């Protein structure tokens, strides 16, 4: 397929595809799916080999969020039955992190519900970062605390944080349809604050909220323009009690096409399979490793994930290896300060045609797998061992 050959060539040169080319990836048929995975896999292996980076979530504060994000089980007024607790103490958070690190995780993501941290919250999280780093040599710490105020990113960096996560989630055009209590621009501002403070910027999306192909391409191109180092790709977990509980729009094949499109648009960025992979990729999860070079290990914030042991077996069986603390995730040119918002030539005579059209497969509504949505009942905030 000429489209895929063009995209591979561009990916190896760090040259972005056109918007039409990205849309064409999402429109490919199931008959072409393995060709799409193989093509994007060449780009993934060129920049990241066969390494898989493991990340582990620690939910520092669960539930009771004043924001109204339609997809979130912790949203204002949601009756989802999730665990609710206030801030974990530094030693409690460090103990929770240790379980994931023992399972092979390289990065610990410290997450707290809420609109954004107060200065006291930043102090609290800073103490937690220091405690985890003192007790675990070589660990990376990513904080995810919501919208940042001026100076807070610098304080987190000073405490030892390596990265900051704040997802754009969907396109600017449709953001107001899923959240009313803050704006898309607020999210962009926080990613820029993290980047300016010297933190590795981590920002991604949620697929499966009823968005169009154009929305998906728009948000991934926006992430490219922000030059984020890592891109978590979440697949909506339709929690009962949220406005999006009935949104079951994804098939395993659709998820793979989305991951492939992200890889072509962000060839040298860390692409991470995040929440919802077990629900929507199901038995095709190993194929997704040919597209993404990073996953979360075990459970998520408020839902149960695949057992950590099963994750490790899946990685080994698929012929990949877990990235160690001695190995550096990002390519050297990105570690040196990033490649800018646009890489490679912008001459259309080099980039190729922008009018590639691939017929879309006939859409079928998948059967809702509500049996796969499981509320987390162990790990942080409980007396039970985590699923790491």
Question: How many residues can be counted in the chain?
Answer: 388
Active-site residue set? 65, 69, 72, 109, 142, 202, 272
Of 376 and 359, the structure prediction assigns the larger pLDDT to 376
CB atoms under 10 Å from CB of 243, counted, come to: 17
pLDDT value, residue 301: 87
Per-residue pLDDT of 237-270, as tens digits, reads 999 999 999 999 999 999 999 999 999 999 999 9
pLDDT value, residue 357: 38
Across the range 98-125, mean pLDDT stands at 96
Q: Band the pLDDT of 366: cuts 50, 70, 90.
A: low
Assign a CATH topology to domain 2-328+362-372: TIM Barrel (3.20.20)
Instruction: Tell me the domain boundaries of the chain.
Output: 2-328+362-372
Across the range 176-201, mean pLDDT stands at 97
For residue 373, is pLDDT > 70?
yes
Q: What's the pTM value of the predicted model, to 2 decimals?
A: 0.87
Dihedral angle, C-alpha 334, 336, 338, 342, nearest 10 °? -90
**N- to C-terminal Cα separation, the chain:** 41
Per-residue pLDDT of 140-153, as tens digits, reads 999 999 999 999 99
Q: Give the contacts of 277 (CB within 8 A, at least 6 positions apart).
A: 235, 255, 285, 288, 295, 305, 306
Among 143-157, 193-207, 314-328, 343-357, name the one with the lowest average pLDDT. Answer: 343-357
CB atoms under 10 Å from CB of 68, counted, come to: 16
């Amino acid at each position: 397929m000429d489209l895929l050959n063009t995209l591979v060539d561009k990916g190896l040169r760090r040259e972005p595809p056109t918007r039409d080319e990205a849309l064409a990836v999402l429109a490919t048929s199931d008959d072409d799916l393995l060709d799409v995975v193989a093509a994007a896999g060449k780009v993934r292996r060129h920049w990241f080999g066969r390494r898989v980076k493991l990340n582990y979530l620690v939910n520092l504060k669960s539930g009771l969020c004043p924001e109204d994000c339609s997809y979130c089980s912790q949203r204002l007024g949601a009756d989802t039955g999730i665990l609710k607790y206030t801030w974990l103490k530094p030693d409690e958070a460090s103990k929770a992190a240790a379980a994931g690190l023992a399972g092979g995780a390289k990065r610990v993501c410290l997450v707290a519900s809420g609109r954004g941290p107060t200065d006291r919250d930043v102090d609290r999280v800073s103490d937690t970062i220091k405690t985890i780093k003192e007790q675990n040599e070589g660990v990376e710490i990513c904080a995810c605390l919501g919208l940042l105020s001026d100076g807070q990113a610098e304080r987190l960096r000073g405490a030892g944080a390596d990265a900051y996560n704040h997802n754009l989630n969907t396109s600017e055009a449709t953001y107001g349809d899923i959240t009313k209590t803050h704006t898309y621009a607020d999210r962009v501002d926080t990613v820029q604050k993290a980047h300016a403070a010297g933190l590795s910027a981590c920002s991604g999306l949620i697929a499966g909220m009823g968005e169009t192909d154009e929305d998906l391409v728009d948000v991934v191109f926006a992430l490219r323009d922000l030059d984020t180092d890592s891109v978590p790709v979440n697949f909506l977990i339709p929690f009962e009690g949220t406005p999006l509980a009935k949104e079951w729009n994804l098939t395993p094949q659709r998820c793979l096409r989305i991951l492939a499109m992200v890889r072509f648009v962000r060839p040298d960025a860390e692409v991470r399979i995040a929440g919802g992979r077990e629900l929507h990729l199901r038995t095709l999860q190993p194929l997704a490793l040919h597209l993404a070079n990073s996953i979360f290990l075990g459970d998520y914030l408020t839902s149960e994930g695949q057992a950590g042991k099963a994750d490790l077996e899946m990685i080994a069986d698929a012929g990949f290896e877990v990235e160690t603390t001695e190995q550096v995730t990002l390519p050297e040119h990105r570690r040196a300060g990033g490649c800018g918002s646009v890489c490679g030539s912008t001459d259309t005579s080099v980039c190729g045609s922008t009018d590639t059209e691939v017929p879309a497969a006939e859409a079928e509504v998948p059967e809702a797998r509500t049996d796969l949505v499981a509320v987390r009942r162990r790990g942080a905030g409980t007396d039970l061992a985590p699923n790491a």
